Structure 1
Amino acid sequence: MKRAWILPVSFAACGALLAAVLVVDGSSGVAAAVLLVFVLIAGLHSPLAFPRSVGALEAQRRSAVDGRPVVYWRAGCKYCLRLRFRLGRGAGGVHWVDIWSDPAGAAVVRAANDGNETVPTVVVAGRAHVNPDPGWVRGQLASSS
């Protein structure tokens, strides 16, 4: 759980430090803008930008019932972020598993990727797809509804 927050907290801390330096130099307006940008970047790289994660076993069980894809992801992954935003509103219809908070999810990803934790790994009907096109994932989600 702590690993997922290292990158966003680092972004926020760097932004605060840079803003403090700008305030000391007398550029309060620029400092506020810089801080805002860093906080937004931190938010995008945090677990908050993703729908609530479930455990791998629960996601697999739910997927078997409703046929929706399971996405294995981790905070700070730009490809996971790309997938999340390209899915748009459909992102809530996918079962999300954070591999940094769920060891079973990390094991599924390693098994599908020759021991590597390459994300996003999307599992549809028991078959893993590494970093698939978001349009394809949307199509899989539409066909499962």
Structure 2
Amino acid sequence: MMRSWILPVLFVLSGSVVATAEFFEGSPGIAAAILLVFLALGGMNSPLIFPRSIGEPEARRRSADDGRPVVFWRPGCAYCIRLRFRLGRSARRLHWVNIWRDPAGAATVRAANGGNETVPTVVVAGRPHTNPGPDWVREQLPAA
């Protein structure tokens, strides 16, 4: 759990150091802008944005049981963040696999995308779909 917070904390700490240096050099506006950028980077990479990731074998098993799609993603991916935000609360009904933390998930994405780790890749009923639209993904969710 703690490892998933290392990158966001490093962004916040780094931004704080750089912003403090700018502030003491007499540029409070630039310091504020830098701090905001680093806070945004930290937030985009934080585990708070995405539902808890599970491993690819577990996601595949759960998807077979409940029919929900599996989303393969990675931290910092703008398309993954867009998908997550546009899905809203529906995102919690999907199975999320972080390919940077799960080698099996990364291998699945590479197999589906000609050797590339293109995310988000959404697997529905065993068929991969690369960077699908949020509305399409929402339609693939089984009725509650």
Q: TM-score, normalised by structure 2?
A: 0.85
Alignment deviations for residues 46-89 of structure 1 (CA, whole Å, 9 cap, x no partner): 33321000110100110011111100000111111110111101
Identical amino acids, percent of aligned pairs: 63
1:11-30 map, 5 Å: 11-27=11-27
- Stretches of structure 1 that go unaligned for 5 or more consecutive residues are none
C-alpha displacement at 1:20, in angstroms? 1.6
Distance 2:77 2:17 in 1: 24
Distance 1:129 1:13 in 2: 37
Decide whether the 8 Å contact of 1:4 with 1:74 is kept in 2.
no
1:51-90 map, 5 Å: 51-90=51-90
Alignment deviations for residues 96-130 of structure 1 (CA, whole Å, 9 cap, x no partner): 00011111111111111111111000000110000
C-alpha displacement at 1:37, in angstroms? 4.2
Report the residue type matching 2:82 in the other structure: R
C-alpha displacement at 1:30, in angstroms? 6.1
Q: TM-score, normalised by structure 1?
A: 0.84
Decide whether the 8 Å contact of 1:4 with 1:76 is kept in 2.
no
Alignment deviations for residues 21-47 of structure 1 (CA, whole Å, 9 cap, x no partner): 222124557635642442133111233
1:134 is aligned to 2:134: yes
- Stretches of structure 2 that go unaligned for 5 or more consecutive residues are none
1:121 is aligned to 2:111: no
The residue that corresponds to 1:40 in the other structure is: 40
Bigger relative contact order (CA 8 A; separation at least 6): 1
Cα distance change, pair 5–144 in 1 and its aligned pair in 2 (3 A): farther
What RMSD over aligned residues (CA atoms) do the two structures have, in Å? 2.5
